[in-house]
Chain A
Amino acid sequence: MSGFLAVLVVVLIFIVIFQIAKASEYVSILKGEKKAREQSNRINGFLLIAFLVLGLIGVYYCNDLLKGKILGESASVQGEGVDTLIYVTLAITGIVFIITQILLFWFAFKYQEKEGRKAFYFPHNNKLEVIWTVIPAIALTVLVAFGLKHWFQLTSDAPKDAQVVEVTGKQFNWIFRYPGKDGQLGRRDFKDIDPGAGNELGMDWNDPLNKDDFMPTEVHLVVGKPVKFIIGSRDVIHDVGLPHFRMKMDAVPGIPTTLWFTPKYTTKQMKEKTGNPDFTYEISCDQMCGSGHYSMRGVIVVETQEEFDAWAAKQKSTYSLTHADTAAPTGAPKADSTQKVVAAVTK
């Protein structure tokens, strides 16, 4: 019923607007076309200048309203470069935006049709055209130079001592793998994936490097220490999006990709900085991957070296978890930890 009423109201509004529009056509015929044209030009000229003024105020107001809701300072060292570039670009494009919009609407208002005004025959002017070819070209050269400088830094090889974390996307969650004590990830093959046996990544258990790899549900990182993500996908294309660190990289099945960055603040520090007790570093999936795309959320915890070490020591290797019966018949947690030590030593 309410739906029907809503439709009725909309139709009524339509009819009213239409009747007014039709009436105004008759009025303009009665008044004379010339007079109606002058009036409509005056009104629209006024609206154009009003749109410019209110629009610029609106731009300011919108910024005032929303600037607190976008990300603050970059949480990674590399992201600072991105932010600097954003500010430089904002300054340049902002100036161009304001000048061109003012000229456009001001000219439209000022040179609206008036009795007795003659338009100025001005087909071209080489000097002007050269000026506004060269100035944008220079501005863009500056932006390209700045941009590429940062681009090559952002895409450079990760430092040798960077912590390695493997991030694999699947519909619809992320799988993380740490190399364990040996610092090296073991071999895996998608054909060996067997979720029933707890082998989500197809790790090859004959490879000793795999024996100490562990797979936590959250990523833990050390503040101030570079981290390299080795990114892949098990099914369709996903994308590791790290908005706070200003980083992003596709996860493509069959083609491993990487990204690296250095976290600047621990999660705790960010909670204080933002004044938000619920602050969390999140991994968003940024490439359409199916019906659960919007729910593909990962969590990153940045902490101090001590906190990280304590956390890492508590992690059980995937091998020990999936081979509990063969490796440690009793299944006691103690056996697990000895297994881990043995694996690390025999490597």
Chain B
Amino acid sequence: MSNEATLHSQQEVMHGAHDHHDHEHHHEDSFISKYVFSMDHKMIAKQFLITGIVWAIIGAFFSVLFRLQLGFPDATFPWLESILGHWAKGGRITAEAYYALVTMHGTILVFFVLTAGLSGTFSNLLIPLQVGARDMASPFMNCLSYWFFFLASLVMMASLFVQTGPASGGWTMYPPLSALGDASIGSKIGVDLWLTSMALFVVSQLLGGLNYISTILNMRTKGMAMTKMPLTIWSFFFTAILGVLSFPVLLSGFILLLMDRHAGTSFYLSDIFIAGKALANEGGSAILYQHLFWFLGHPEVYIIILPAMGMVSEVLAVSSRKPIFGYLAMIGSLFAICILAFLVWAHHMFVTGLNPFLGAFFVLLTLLIAVPSAIKVFNWITTIWKGNINFTPASLFSIGFVSTFISGGLTGIWLGNSSIDIHLHDTMFVIAHFHIVMGVSAFFGMFAGIYHWFPKLYGRFMNSTIGYIHFWVTMVGAYLIFWPMHYEGMAGMPRRYYDVSNWASFKQFGGLNEFITIVVILVFAVQLLFVFNFFYSIFKGRKMTTLNPWHATSLEWTTPIHAGHGNWPGEIPEVYRWAYDYSKDGRDFIPQTEPIGPNEEVH
């Protein structure tokens, strides 16, 4: 089998000097090849996850800092000066620092946590395990994918410490603000480092994405037809396709920006008078960048949410002991979302002066996405209907995911309609909308995945009491933070405002901002509790005693508790049925590896 061949050739590369490579499980791994430059997809998944967690703590902490400013614009916090230095002179964050924090919060959470940390972790962990492969199509490329991400992380981290500060023009990095060092202190070396880091990140995503696609297409075990795969795999598949087709466009946009910054080109620049002189650039279009950016930027939100959808589908089916309702409709809607994701980018640009006739098509296509999304929601609800649901932390987070996905998805119908968007564009309403639908929801999907597959990752369980506290505080907190924020947006309060107290139209929300900030601090503290639970459980968690703790049908639970590189000690199991035979014919569950009985009906 091709799996076998790939793995053996890998071993030859890795152990060229050794004389024996009789069997893949007998060789001794050095520390470096096992924990650092590992080619085992399970270890790479852990690397992505832990790097993602570190970034998530940093990114979330930044949001606590700038929420302090929003909630208490007149207060001073002397400890801020001790960690931020002159960026928080006198204990109050400066406007420059505020915008740097906001920009880094967005960049880190969108790209480093919810793209790399989420799909990087679970695509790596689950694709080979659930399709029945010994590893990825190219374990070496997979290893490179992580290390490019690591390099991107280093560069981004370095940008936090340069004298002029990190990029501060918003995570979308619109030129001319990001193109001209004279326009903002954050647009000096900070933007160069940001662009370099993101370029490395795109390379990492492409290496990973191509691997995921080829593994799913070519390396499924015997009997694993595409229509027998768990929905997790389908969602990772579409996620990878989105990434592979859209990240290169983003990269091209970044390269043009870099050239505008340093090579004197005018792709995005025209008619600019700044720092007391008129620039020579003419004929460029600042709007061109936005097209290139959002051509990735919009698929990006689906890159973030699709893996969460897949994992939630799986966890809901397992914990309610029912097959996922409408399996084919679920695949169909993933496919529809994937196609439409490429055709709606300009709905971020309704007020840029876009031709209204063109805008009309983007309204139509944007609202069209609500149809497959609605199908998914109704199917999830029907999946738990008449089930027998066990509330593990994972299943609670899945239910929370559906709830926040509904809440945030519905406000998308407001914003996708261009006439309403005119009023709500770039207000706090948008912040509330996308934080609920792709921030909170995606995190809930990720938490569901972590609690559910933690035993597979480390052979131990996480503490569920802390898990329950984590879920309930986060769920209640998320709604308390973002629900009232819609009202600020309805009043027209713009996003990215350092201080609203001088505005007759927006200052009435001072008390609300204070309340939101307090909830943010509480929710952040509970996330630290989760992080503690995670690391503590790796070493001290309750040990896993059975192979299949959740009584799931899918293949990953047929591997040993501490599976070596290659996943199955013997032959890769053969698959005979889909992954959702729960409560069928009076049996609690039927694993995928069990042949179809003589009188059995196939789904």
Asked whether, in the complex, the Cβ of A122 is within 8 Å of the Cβ of B382, the reply is: yes
Please pick, from B329, B463, B498, the residue contacting A124 in the complex, using a CB distance under 8 A: B329
Interface pair A284/B492, CB less than 8 Å apart: yes
- Assuming the contacts A119-B388, A121-B323, asked whether A286 and B427 have C-beta atoms less than 8 A apart, the reply is yes
The segment out of B5-13, B130-138, B224-232, B400-408 that lies at the interface is B400-408
In the assembly, what is the distance between CA of A289 and CA of B411, in Å? 26
Interface segment, A203-211, A290-298, A308-316, A321-329?
A: A290-298
Q: Does the CB pair B371–A133 fall under 8 Å?
A: yes
Q: Note all chain B residues with C-beta closer than 8 A to A108.
A: 384, 389, 391, 399
Q: Interface with A: B49-57, B60-68, B256-264, B265-273, which one?
A: B265-273
Complex CA gap A132/B325 in Å reads 13
A100 to B180, CA, bound (A): 48
A294 near B382 (CB under 8 angstroms)?
Answer: no
Residue A252 contacts which of B353, B371, B411, B418 (CB distance < 8 angstroms)? Answer: B353
Q: Which stretch of B112-120, B139-147, B501-509 is in the interface?
A: B501-509
The stretch of A147-155, A158-166, A179-187, A219-227 that contacts the partner chain: A147-155
Name the A residues within 8 Å of B386 (CB-CB). Answer: 111, 119-120, 122
Of B176, B379, B469, most buried by chain A (CB within 10 Å of CB) is B176
Interface flag for B468 (CB, 8 Å): yes
Docked complex Cα distance between A41 and B490 (Å): 39
B-chain residues with CB within 8 Å of residue A147 when the two chains form the complex? 363, 367, 417-420
Q: Does B563 count as interface, using CB distance less than 8 angstroms? A: no
A329 to chain B, nearest CB (A): 30
Alpha-carbon gap, A247 to B427, bound state (A): 12
Query: Are B414 and A89 closer than 8 Å at their CB atoms?
Result: yes
Are B492 and A112 in contact, with the CB atoms below 8 A?
no
The interface bits of chain A over 232-259 (1 if a CB of B lies within 8 angstroms of the residue's CB, else 0) are: 0011110101011011111011110100
B273 touches A193 (CB 8 A): yes
Does B574 lie at the interface of the complex (its beta carbon under 8 Å from any beta carbon of A)?
no
**B370 contact from A59, A97, A140, Cβ within 8 A:** A140
CB contact list, A1-41 vs B, under 8 A: 3, 10, 14, 17-18, 20-22, 24-25, 37, 40-41
User: With a CB–CB cut-off of 8 A, which chain B residues contact A47?
Assistant: 472
Interface pair B320/A290, CB less than 8 Å apart:
no
Would B183 and A71 count as touching, CB distance under 8 A?
A: no
What residues of chain B lie closer than 8 Å to A62, measured between beta carbons?
483-484, 487
- Please determine whether B285 and A44 come into contact, CB atoms closer than 8 angstroms: no
Q: Contact at B418–A171, with CB atoms within 8 Å?
A: no
The one of A117, A129, A248 in contact with B326, judged by C-beta atoms closer than 8 angstroms, is A129
**Contact present for A136 and B371 (CB under 8 Å):** yes
Q: Which residues of A contact B458 (CB under 8 A)?
A: none
If A70-B487, A108-B399, A190-B273 touch, whether A121 touches B371 (CB-CB below 8 Å) is no
Is A120 a contact of B322 with CB atoms below 8 Å?
Answer: yes
B328 engages A124 (CB within 8 Å): yes
Chain A min CB distance to B266 (Å): 9
9-residue interface stretch from A80-88, A330-338, A339-347 = A80-88
Nearest-neighbor residue (CB-CB) of B471 within chain A: A44
Interface size classification for chain B = 35 or more
Instruction: Say which residue of A20, A144, A254 sits within 8 Å of B364 (CB atoms).
Output: A144
Within the complex, what minimum Cβ distance (angstroms) separates A106 from chain B?
A: 10
Q: Are B389 and A111 in contact (CB under 8 A)?
A: yes
Using a CB-CB cutoff of 8 Å, which residues 69-114 of chain A contact chain B?
A: 69-71, 79, 81-82, 85-86, 89, 92-93, 96-97, 100-101, 103-105, 107-108, 111-114
B492 touches A243 (CB 8 A): yes
Q: What residues make up the interface of A, taking CB atoms closer than 8 Å to B?
A: 3, 10, 14, 17-18, 20-22, 24-25, 37, 40-41, 43-45, 47-48, 51, 55, 58-59, 62, 66-67, 69-71, 79, 81-82, 85-86, 89, 92-93, 96-97, 100-101, 103-105, 107-108, 111-114, 117-125, 128-129, 132-133, 136-137, 140, 143-144, 147-148, 150-152, 154-155, 170-171, 190-191, 193, 195, 202, 234-237, 239, 241, 243-244, 246-250, 252-255, 257, 278-280, 282, 284-295, 297
If A37-B390, A133-B374 are given as contacts, then 17 extra A-B residue pairs at C-beta distance below 8 Å, sorted by A number, are A70-B491, A92-B413, A96-B406, A96-B410, A119-B388, A123-B323, A129-B329, A147-B419, A151-B363, A202-B273, A234-B272, A278-B504, A286-B427, A288-B99, A290-B183, A290-B184, A295-B502
A and B contact pairs by CB, cutoff 8 A, 26 listed: A14-B529, A14-B532, A22-B463, A41-B391, A66-B487, A85-B417, A96-B406, A101-B403, A104-B384, A104-B402, A107-B381, A112-B388, A113-B391, A119-B582, A122-B323, A123-B603, A124-B329, A151-B359, A155-B356, A235-B272, A236-B175, A248-B425, A252-B352, A282-B505, A288-B169, A294-B95
A-B pairs, 9 with minimum CB distance: A243-B492, A254-B270, A257-B353, A155-B356, A120-B386, A21-B465, A44-B391, A147-B417, A254-B271
